[in-house]
Amino acid sequence: MSNTEAPFRISIPDDELESLKQKLALTRFPDELEDAGRDYGAPLADIQRLTNHWKDTYLSKWREHEAKLNEDFPQFTRDIEVDGFGTLNIHYVHKKSTVVDAVPLLFVHGWPGSFLEARKILPLLVEDSPEHPSFHVVVVSLPGYGFSEAPKKKGFGVPQYAEIGHKLMLALGYNEYVTQGGDWGSLITRKIAQVYGPKHSKAWHTNTPIGEAPHPTRRPWLLLSYLLFTLSPKEKAGLERTKWFQEKGIGYFKEQSTQPQTLGYSLADSPVGLLGWIYEKLVNWTDEYPWTDDEVLTWISIYWFSRAGPAASVRIYYEVSNQSPEGFARNIETPIPVGHSYFPKELAVLPRSWIKASNPTLVFESEHEGGGHFAAHERPEGLVSDLRKMFGKGGPAFGVVPGKTGYV
Amino acid sequence: MSDTEAPFRISISDNELESLKQKLALTRFPDELEDAGRDYGAPLADIQRLTNYWKDTYLSKWKEHEAKLNEDLPQFTRDIEVDGFGTLNIHYVHKKSTVVDAVPLLFVHGWPGSFLEARKILPLLVENSPEHPSFHVVAVSLPGYGFSEAPKKKGFGSTQYAEVGHKLMLALGYNEYVTQGGDWGALITRRIAQLYGPKHSKAWHTNMPLGEAPHPTRRPWLLLTYLLFKLSPKEKAGLERTQWFQEKGIGYFKEQSTQPQTLGYSLADSPVGLLGWIYEKLVNWTDEYPWTDDEVLTWISIYWFSRAGPAASVRIYYEVNNLTPEGFARNIETPIPVGHSYFPKELAILPRSWIKAANPTLVFESEHEGGGHFAAYERPEALVGDLRKMFGKGGPAFGVVPGKTGF
């Protein structure tokens, strides 16, 4: 297979910047009910402020933001062939540690995430120190996200996303590697573990661990209510969070898994529509993370300027739901060691006993007092520390990649 | 209560027309998967064609469309006070029959419907004939729809919508009346029946009848699957349609009932976003209705140019779900006669036995071989035919409004 790797720098054409500005200038806002707070969705005051900042300030500084992104993220593209889907040109970040035998690690994002989520953990992971292991880091942009091409055919599901991640690691010379993922990244790295482990994938870590029945997606709430009396306060709070998500936070999921194209017209055409759709998650899914307007707008701009357009990013929900009508909390076991980080504002926070029962190869657990769904962005030190403990000397996954322990 | 009624004509400003054109000209379309068909949502080719037509042709003829709307639908506004919510200025259609003692009928639309849904049934309902009853027709624009104001406070639910409909009828001098409604109109006219019947609301008719347990919104699908072996082919097809809706067609409902403001940013700002969101329903919820582009765009334009903006229209899902967490298929009984029309492409099609069990005052039923959710628009003759049978001489609801038999 020929090496199609090419260095990549984000470089949004002037006419795209101009188009976005024009659209923003024509924004028509809805009104809002009195005292709506966040109950009805993303608050109007936030959205208006962000929209105006995007239009009046952020975009005129785009080239600075872009330069900083390119500085923080050494990026590349290369062609990856996917069985039945042809060749996709995949965008990724690749940063090697100065430690030659660093542990090769593939980081996989989800929705509404992107390669951007690795921004803070990247320098920490590659950092050289006798105190902790170092990693060579690959951050893939899933097909349909960031600057990766999207599949053109129907049926691109978890096995295909896993194939991309795996083949990318092989193409970069990492025949054996470990993975870290949350959200779709968790499902995908789990699939990588099942399909390519233990031969290639040696261990995996997730910040969105799940367990099976009695599982909230099957909703025996009467049972859960009964169980609430036998759970610890933390576990009860976790189930309440889970219940909130399943009842109040699931609308986007239902639409994206049934009519992604319909939603796609709004996401592709309306900057404020895209902003609202994603910003609501940035707030509701995090643990009071103090988003700056620039942070939010960089996050959204990646979606707005993405190679495949924002509508492509939501098709994964349709494909995976179609292929897994029984739900995602099945077939959880993997043949390789797994590590979990538990953050209190994750979306499915299940009793530890349920999680352990579904993950017989669980070798590492770490519980955090704060943090939510976007762990790498919200709690980079917390997450990296967990990876260092799991893969470091004395840790349960130390040396899983032969010859690449992460130390000098 | 002072009479604040004023005649109303739709008259969209040049500014608004120009803004819409500008936005349409800047439309950024998504791509689409090969062979997606309608599986992933509204098809790209349709949406592109409609968008371009909207921009290049339809809007330049808007004044003609507007004039025809104003001609077909005599409109008014008046202030209606709603307990706890202050005064809302309500838009409605009001057309009297030449038959003095016509039956007063309130028609209530749903989402993504509007007063427009009454366009075809209006002339049929008011028509004078010895063969069938005539009606005085009121088609209210629900608060947040058409050219009615929207509530500003939280908590405006089915009780409040019912209050608006009832008070409007009283204000128009119809102390006693009947109602017809589908979608939210079914819930609202049912509420009117419960709150204001039999004193004011005398009988009600719906094209979206419901029944109780085992109910699809509680989803005991294993039970339903078992039952499938005991149902007629039509009933099986109906349950499959219902299942399709609950599994594939429910995304909009979940988003609108939990995060309507989030969705509202898209609907308010993006004409193509609004078009896609609603057009998908116009196709999926009807029985192969041959929509013309003009029809679709008039429908969507009413939403785009609505007084409260399209985001206001979806809040009803949040409010009613919040107030009714146990679901909509409860508290179905009413103290007045009810009539049902069954259309095969409705969204919830339940076995007749379940419906009858939940509707003890059911006096009229009519089954149709074709037609879907927007019955008044798709099958106007059929729907009016049913109303004429229900309320006509020899019908089960003949003379329910004393002195106003429709003849």
Q: In what order do the strands lie in the sheet with A338-342?
A: A6-8, A75-82, A86-95, A135-140, A103-108, A177-181, A201-206, A338-342, A362-367
Per-residue pLDDT of chain B (407 residues; tens, 9 = 90+): 568 999 999 999 999 999 999 999 999 999 999 999 999 999 999 999 999 999 999 999 999 999 999 999 999 999 999 999 999 999 999 999 999 999 999 999 999 999 999 999 999 999 999 999 999 999 999 999 999 999 999 999 999 999 999 999 999 999 999 999 999 999 999 999 999 999 999 999 999 998 875 555 554 555 665 566 677 888 889 989 999 999 999 999 999 999 999 999 999 999 999 999 999 999 999 999 999 999 999 999 999 999 999 999 999 999 999 988 767 777 889 999 999 999 999 999 988 888 888 899 999 999 999 999 999 999 999 999 999 999 999 999 999 999 999 99
Contact A40 B277 (CB under 8 A): no
Between CA A365 and CA B52 the distance in angstroms is 55
Provide the 3-class DSSP secondary structure of residue B389.
helix
* Whether B266 and A266 lie within 8 Å, measured CB to CB: yes
Query: What are the tokens at B204?
Result: 């009600």
- SS3 at position B108: strand
The answer to whether residue A275 neighbours chain B at the CB level (below 8 Å) is yes
Q: Where are the beta strands (DSSP E) in A261-358?
A: 338-342
The verdict on A320 touching B (C-beta cutoff 8 Å) is no
Alpha-carbon gap, residue A242 to A245, rounded angstroms: 5
Q: Is B31–A308 a contact, with Cβ atoms under 8 angstroms apart?
A: yes
Please check whether residue A107 is in contact with residue A118, taking contact to mean a CB–CB distance below 8 angstroms: yes
Q: A266 and B262: CB-CB below 8 Å?
A: no
Among the listed residues B346, B319, B377, B4, the one whose alpha carbon sits nearest the alpha carbon of residue B191:
B319
Beta-bridge partner residues of B82: B86
State whether B247 and A258 contact (CB < 8 Å): yes
Q: Of the candidates A23, A263, A274, which has its C-beta nearest B41's C-beta?
A: A263
- Residues of chain B contacting A218 with CB distance shorter than 8 Å: none
Q: How far apart are CA A345 and CA A378, in angstroms?
A: 11
B256 touches chain A (CB under 8 A): yes
Eight-class DSSP state of B379: -
CA–CA separation, A42 vs A283, rounded Å?
Answer: 8
Say what the pLDDT of residue A209 is.
94
Which residues, other chains included, contact A128 with Cβ-Cβ below 8 Å and sequence gap of 6+? A97, A98, A99, A134, A408
Measured CA to CA, the distance from residue A372 to residue B356 in angstroms comes to 49
Q: Which of B203, B148, B231, B172 is nearest to B335 (CA)?
A: B203
Neighbours of A307 (CB within 10 A): 17
Longest dimension (CA), chain A: 62
Question: What are the tens digits of pLDDT across the range A257-267?
Answer: 999 999 999 99
pLDDT score recorded for residue A219: 45
Instruction: For residue B178, list its beta bridge partners.
Output: B105, B203
Residues of A in contact with B247 (CB under 8 A): 258
**ipTM of this complex:** 0.95
The encoded tokens of residue B348 equal 């919830």
* Sheet of strand B177-181, all strands in order from the earlier edge strand to the far edge: B6-8, B75-82, B86-95, B135-140, B103-108, B177-181, B201-206, B338-342, B362-367
Residue A17: predicted pLDDT: 98
Interface contact flag, B40 A272, Cβ < 8 Å: no
- Does residue B35 have an active-site annotation? no
What does the alpha-carbon distance between residue A96 and residue A123 come to, in Å, rounded to a whole number? 10
Start-to-end CA span in chain A (Å): 32
Q: φ and ψ at A337, to 5 degrees? A: -60, 140
Contact between B51 and B272 (Cβ < 8 Å): yes
- Which tokens in the block code for residue B59? 């809007």
| Contact call for B270 and A270, based on CB within 8 A | yes
What is the token pair recorded at A192?
Answer: 């990588």
Q: Is B333 exposed, middle or buried (0-12, 13-18, 19+ CB in 10 A)?
A: middle
Give A101→chain B minimum CA distance, Å.
42
pLDDT at residue A217 in the model: 53
Q: Is B275 on the interface with A (CB under 8 A)?
A: yes
Q: Is the dihedral of CA A153, A155, A160, A164 positive or negative?
A: positive
- The structure tokens listed for B355 are 């419906």
Mutate to test the interface with A, among B27, B40, B225 (most CBs of A within 10 A): B40
Question: Which amino acid does the sequence have at B283?
Answer: V
Rounded to 5°, the CA angle A372-A374-A375 comes to: 70
> For residue B167, what are its two tokens?
């008070």
Choose among A361, A364, A367: nearest CA to A390: A364
Phi first, then psi: what are they for A222, rounded to 5°? -65, -40
Q: Do B31 and A259 touch (CB under 8 A)?
A: no
Residues 6+ apart with CB under 8 A from B248: A258, A259
Nearest Cα neighbor of A206 from A332, A115, A59 is A332
With DSSP H G I counted as helix, E B as strand and the rest as coil, what are the percentages for chain A, rounded to 5?
A: 45, 15, 40
Cα nearest neighbour of A16 on chain B: B28
Here the tokens at position B296 are: 């679709």
- Residue linked to tokens 């910040």: A207
**Out of B44, B269, B308, whose CB is closest to A27?**
B269
Q: Tokens for A23, please give them.
A: 């659209």
Eight-state DSSP code of residue A394: T
Best CA proximity match to B318, nearest among B403, B378, B258, B233: B258
Instruction: Give me the residues of chain A with pLDDT under 50, please.
Output: 219, 222
CA–CA gap between residue B54 and residue B56 (Å, rounded): 6
Query: Which residues of A carry out catalysis?
Result: 183, 317, 373
From B145, B174, B317, B342, active-site residue: B317
Handedness of CA A66, A71, A73, A74 (dihedral sign): positive
CB B81 within 8 A of CB B87: yes
Which residues neighbour B336 within 8 Å (Cβ) at sequence distance 6 or greater?
B193, B197, B198, B201, B202, B203, B204, B361, B400
Name the 3-class secondary structure at B178: strand
Contact B126, B389 (CB under 8 A): no
* Residue whose entry in the numeric block shows the structure tokens 């939403």: B303
**CB count, 10 Å around CB of B393?**
14
Of A40, A260, A273, the CB nearest to B40: A260
The alpha-helical segments, DSSP class H, found in B177-314 are 184-196, 221-227, 233-248, 251-258, 260-269, 271-284, 293-304, 310-313
pLDDT of residue A351: 84
CA of B1, closest CA in chain A: separation in Å? Answer: 27
Beta-bridged to residue A204, according to DSSP, are A179, A338
Contact at 8 Å (CB) between A324 and A348?
no
Strands in A226-304 per DSSP E: none
Inter-chain touch A44–B261, beta carbons under 8 Å: yes
Catalytic residue among B94, B136, B166, B373: B373
